[in-house]
Structure 1
Amino acid sequence: MAPLSKSAVLTAIQKTLDDELAALTRGARASFAAATDPDSRAENKYDTRTLEASYVARGQAQRVQELQAAVHLFQALAQDLTASPTVRLGSFILLDEDQYYFMGPGAGGTEVILEGKEILVITPASPLGQRLMGKGAGETLQLPAGPTFRITSVL
């Protein structure tokens, strides 16, 4: 494995999630303010600005809750950074010498760049995550209608 450590990767992921949560929380507050502002009430029966603003506010509030849950799950995961010979929750995985993944409990699709390497968070529920779980270094994996990968290392 490259000189990247699992703890450094986890720290970078947590910082990215914290930053995203802070930005999303600010946006959710602004959306709520827009949806409840007395000046934004409908001018006629066809004016749906307030209704649309409330949908945006509700969606952002739900996303904030999901991200808060992911932050808590990653904090709990940080308590156990032991290496495992097989892929499990919390594993840092290298495929074919240039594809880095972190098996996370949530926040799938989150990307971090550390020491010039792009690391993608995947979850056990994702198609790649399902195929990786339980596999070890040196094993190969075939994606449906896709290429074959070799697991170079698992931390």
Structure 2
Amino acid sequence: MDKFLLQQQVLERLADDLLQVEQAVRVAHETATHEENIAENKYDTLGLEASYLAAGQARRAEAIRQAMASWRQFRARPYDAGKGIQLGALVCLVDADDKQQQLFLGPDGGSMTLLSGTQLIQVVSGEAPLGRAMLGKCEGDEVTIQVGSVRQVFEVVRVW
């Protein structure tokens, strides 16, 4: 799997997300400022609600821009067993049910799934609980995270 191509997929997905969010900002702003949505009484809140939505969408757009900047500056290095798993690592984990998952540990903007050939790869931020738990681990090590009352245990099968 080519880490550079995965990084490009992340940037493309973030760019698509940014376009959608910017369109949502425009629509919410137009709704908030449209003359038909001027409040006629204290219970007429459509314009106010649209302005809150526009502000939230604008914050989301800025977060996506920051994630894009992080991914543009990011340079994935080859795996170094002496340092263990670091940002940029591709990791194969297996759980107690022998279910494997492929992960790409990145700087930001996780929670997206990429496709490399026929292989699904989950992008995980180094700040996510699973990302933090993997840092410094090596092949054969155990990775444990607590999700609510459930303790999940994985084995690192392969890192590249």
TM-score w.r.t. length of structure 2:
0.85
Distance 2:118 2:100 in 1: 11
Q: Is 1:146 aligned to 2:151, yes or no?
A: yes
Counterpart in the other structure of 2:92: 94
1:108-140 residue CA offsets vs partner (Å, 9 max, x unmatched): 212223323222222222211111001112222
Structure number with the bigger relative contact order (C-alpha 8 A, sep ≥ 6) is 1
> What residue ranges of structure 1 are gaps of 5+ in the alignment?
none
For 2:20, which of 23, 26, 30 is the aligned residue?
23
SS of the counterpart of 2:109? coil
Distance 2:114 2:36 in 1: 41
TM-score w.r.t. length of structure 1:
0.87
4+ residue runs over 4 A deviation? none
**Contact 1:42-1:50 within 8 A present in 2 as well:** yes
Counterpart in the other structure of 2:131: 129
Identity of aligned residues (%): 29
Matched positions, count:
150
Which segment is superposed worse, 122-131 or 63-72?
A: 122-131
SS of the counterpart of 1:149? strand
Counterpart in the other structure of 1:55: 52
SS of the counterpart of 1:141? strand
- Superposed counterparts of 1:75-86, under 5 Å: 75-77=72-74, 80-85=75-80, 86=84
**Contact 1:16-1:112 within 8 A present in 2 as well:** no
Which segment is superposed worse, 59-68 or 15-24?
A: 15-24
Kindly provide the amino acid, as one letter, of the partner of residue 55 in structure 1.
Y
Kindly provide the amino acid, as one letter, of the partner of residue 54 in structure 2.
A
1:9-59 residue CA offsets vs partner (Å, 9 max, x unmatched): 212111111111111111111111111122211132211001100010000
